[in-house]
Chains A and B, each alone.
Chain A
């Protein structure tokens, strides 16, 4: 089982308390009706799906219930870091 550090609880806890919530740092367009169909499709559905470090959202559902962000390596399944929602995305170089 994965152990995930919740940045709000400041504890490292079993994965069973958490739920995955997709790629992080995807900003909803301020004026959706000004978007073309292609732009809207990109916002809604097109994801990076990288092989390697992935910025993603998690939720501590059975705990503090907060959403937060994480960087997880999709190859090794290792969490490089977790940080609170709203904080800037950490530089990958700083995580090595």
Chain B
């Protein structure tokens, strides 16, 4: 039985000796779309936006040729800085903080747990990068922070479904190892 979204509280959601899945604390999330010369945006954001798909810098990940996701504790100054350059450098910056949650997936077999839902080869994602991909039918953003530590951004409505998969997966991988 899938969990109700409202029952999620930050903390451990599923755990076993194989892997642990926990919910990250709420954070600011911004979707950025921009084309052409990015130098003005770089200056406004105070960092260089990564330009290769999957590359990360600070809290930003490049998702497409003209698309980024930014994670930050406080988005107010970012929104203000980008609004100030909007006239000269039109772009789209949208607050999507309420759209999704982040699952922290870590443990000795975290990468293997992900293979239950992801068709893509997890090993092809280098540490320090990320990718938008598909996990058991849902589009997710996967951030690889260490060989055995990932973050997965999931839209709210898909979260109970994926969590249910990971709960089963954690138990299954632990039972296999035993």
Q: Do A and B share a complex?
A: yes
Return B115 CB to nearest CB of chain A, in Å.
Answer: 12
- Is A77's beta carbon under 8 Å from chain B? no
Q: Contact: B65 with A63, CB < 8 Å?
A: no
Contact of A65 among B64, B119, B124, B131 (CB under 8 A): B64
Residues from 105 to 126 in B contacting A, C-beta threshold 8 Å? 119-120, 124
Contact B67–A13 (Cβ < 8 Å): no
Check A17–B119 contact: CB distance below 8 A. Answer: yes
Contact of A14 with B120 at beta-carbon distance under 8 Å, contacts A8-B53, A62-B133, A63-B133 already known:
yes
Question: Which residues of A does B touch, CB under 8 Å?
Answer: 1, 8-11, 13-17, 61-66
Interface bin, chain B: 10 to 19
Chain A nearest CB from B38 CB (Å) reads 17
A-contact 0/1 string along B53-94, CB 8 Å cutoff: 110000000011101000000000000000000000000000
- Contact check, B134 vs A16: say whether CB atoms are below 8 A apart: yes
B64 pairs with A17, CB closer than 8 A: no
Chain A residues positioned under 8 Å from B65 (CB to CB): 8, 64, 66
- Would you mind naming 5 contact pairs between A and B with Cβ atoms under 8 Å apart? A8-B65, A9-B53, A9-B54, A16-B134, A63-B133
**B contacts with A: majority SS:** strand
CB-CB < 8 A to A66: which residues of B? 64-65
Residues of A within 8 A of B120 (CB): 13-14, 17
Please give, as numbers and ranges, the residues of chain B lying within 8 Å of A10 by CB-CB distance: 53
Q: For A8, A15, A61, A65, which residue has the most chain B Cβ atoms within 10 angstroms? A: A65
Further contacts, 19 of them, CB under 8 A, given A8-B64, A10-B53, A14-B120: A1-B119, A11-B124, A14-B119, A16-B134, A17-B133, A17-B134, A61-B139, A62-B132, A62-B139, A63-B53, A63-B64, A63-B132, A63-B133, A64-B53, A64-B63, A64-B64, A64-B65, A65-B67, A66-B65
C-alpha gap A9/B119 in the complex (Å): 16
**B132 (CB) vs chain A CBs: closest residue:** A63
